[in-house]
Structure 1
Amino acid sequence: MRTYNWAILGLGNIAHKFAESLALVPQARLHAVASRSLSKAQGFAGRHGAAHAVGSYEELLKVPGIDVVYIATPHSEHHAHSLLCLRAGLPVLCEKAFAVNAQQAAEMITVAQEQQVFLMEAFWTRFFPAVTKAVELVQAGVIGEVKHLVADFGFAAPYEPQGRLFNPTLAGGSLLDIGVYPLFISKLFLGEPQTVRAVATLAPTGVDVNCALVLAYASGATASLFSTLAAPTDNQCILYGTKGQLQLLGRFHAPDGVRLQLTGQPQAQEIPCEKQGLGYHYEAAHVQQCLAQGLLESPLLPLSFSLELMQLLDTVRAQIGLRYPGEG
């Protein structure tokens, strides 16, 4: 089996986590890293064993032997950096949120299809064994028809107006940073909602600190979703069905098992699932499987899913009055 040479574009905190996780992927090698600072790139490369370090994103395109690029820059840059790599013929795994808005996401998808190059959103949650197990159980009807889903994600972040989380220029706010997780999990289990209602509390910079959503579906199901940068929350996801309930164990975006409480059964059943390391290696291994098969998108996380998710984010932002610079 061949070895896949990975490159990382953008070297913030999540890039370090991804680089550590690559060590758990068979036939994966961190080959090149790119930052706007050469010294930062060289330090990162030394720490994680990358053969090449460059001090601009454009220089990355000149590094020979790259098989796939992981894009880990702020949300505001995902569109430009994905297009940079895709137009150079390099497969892309792009961090979520996929882009700032659906228009950008659609262009990324169009260019990938025109260039015949692989593109996938780096929604690592989709590839955890516990999520795979939960999807199997729900699709098999183990908890009956799902009638309601609740999911939350929150932590307390210091208010730094120029920081990534609160700066509108960097597409900050709880929704695109962590609210996308509850929205993702609701879409994974319940599909496209018919009705979306959103309210939010905005920071002085204009981005959302709290964002609460209620969704309704053609199936008759509903969902309650919440994200916040102002307080730690349980980070839980529970599905309520006609025959019982299912909970993703641990923090739901990186779960390590499934808990089933079926109606009429006195005790809940806990199903532990593998969770190695931080868990980013699951999505990386999936990308390599797709590339080995010559696929241009993931069958588990197709580009249509990511585009629809961005459209939902646009809908929510329109309701809470959050526009980013340059959106008009």
Structure 2
Amino acid sequence: MTAAPAAPTAARTDGRVWFITGAGRGLGRAFTEAALAAGDRVVAAARTPAALQPLADEHDDRLLVLPLDVTDRAAVHTAVDTAVRHFGRLDIVVNNAGFLAMGMIEEFDEVLARAQMDTNFFGALWVSQAVLPHLRAQGSGHIVQISSIGALGGFALTGMYSASKFALEGMSEALAAEAAAFGVKLTIVEPGGYWTDLYTTGLRTTRPLDAYAPLRAELEKQFAEASVDSLPHLAAEALMKLVDSEDPPLRLLLGGLAYDTAFDISRKRMDTWAAWEDVSRAAEQAAEAPEGYGS
């Protein structure tokens, strides 16, 4: 499906500059279009920059398109430096690049497992590291980490994807605390389903093991019946409200399914913790360091 165009907004005069990864398609493309429609300037980084040529022709003075593979740390630093030289600053950084590796955990080979982590986790880490010196020097900025409903819990068939997003969120919580001292904000965005290429060209699958055939068939039936997918422009509208906020949250859920899932999982975890409270508390008792400890 084709994303509906972002609703036009009044042009801003504050000269905000965006750096968006994975900007060539899907949510990244919708974010890029929304920022341009708002009158902002955008550095759109993508593995396939040619996809952005029509936008570049229309907004040549406010859109800088850069080819970028976020798994290449040196290339990420070069792209960020180029962006700052071109527009003079960075204000909003959106780590959106990613893909979905689908399969049972037992089925993953080393190549695909590492590729999932390299893009979804390390790519965002490299971008965050590259932009921080510039944001610290400014004393301002907003990093937006595009996570997933998959970070709310581990789910069969998407466990490695969840692992990459869990890692992203753990790193990002720490980064938010570290960056706040310099006036830099960070928000983790957890979207539900959207009509992007995540399940088509953005999808890589494992070689199925016969032992999992019944479970795989049941899960695919559940996905087909329970999936709720929206047009990307709705996520873009939410993102614009987020970055316009003077007090953005650490986390933002996108979609009713993500919202309900987050509360359901949190309640189940709290119930389990409470049921095992006695065992948990009994495992802790203050004690002096054992003789010879640390020697």
Q: TM-score, with normalisation over the residues of structure 2?
A: 0.45
Where is the helix percentage greater, Structure 1 or Structure 2?
Answer: 2
Larger-Rg structure: 2
Q: TM-score, with normalisation over the residues of structure 1?
A: 0.42
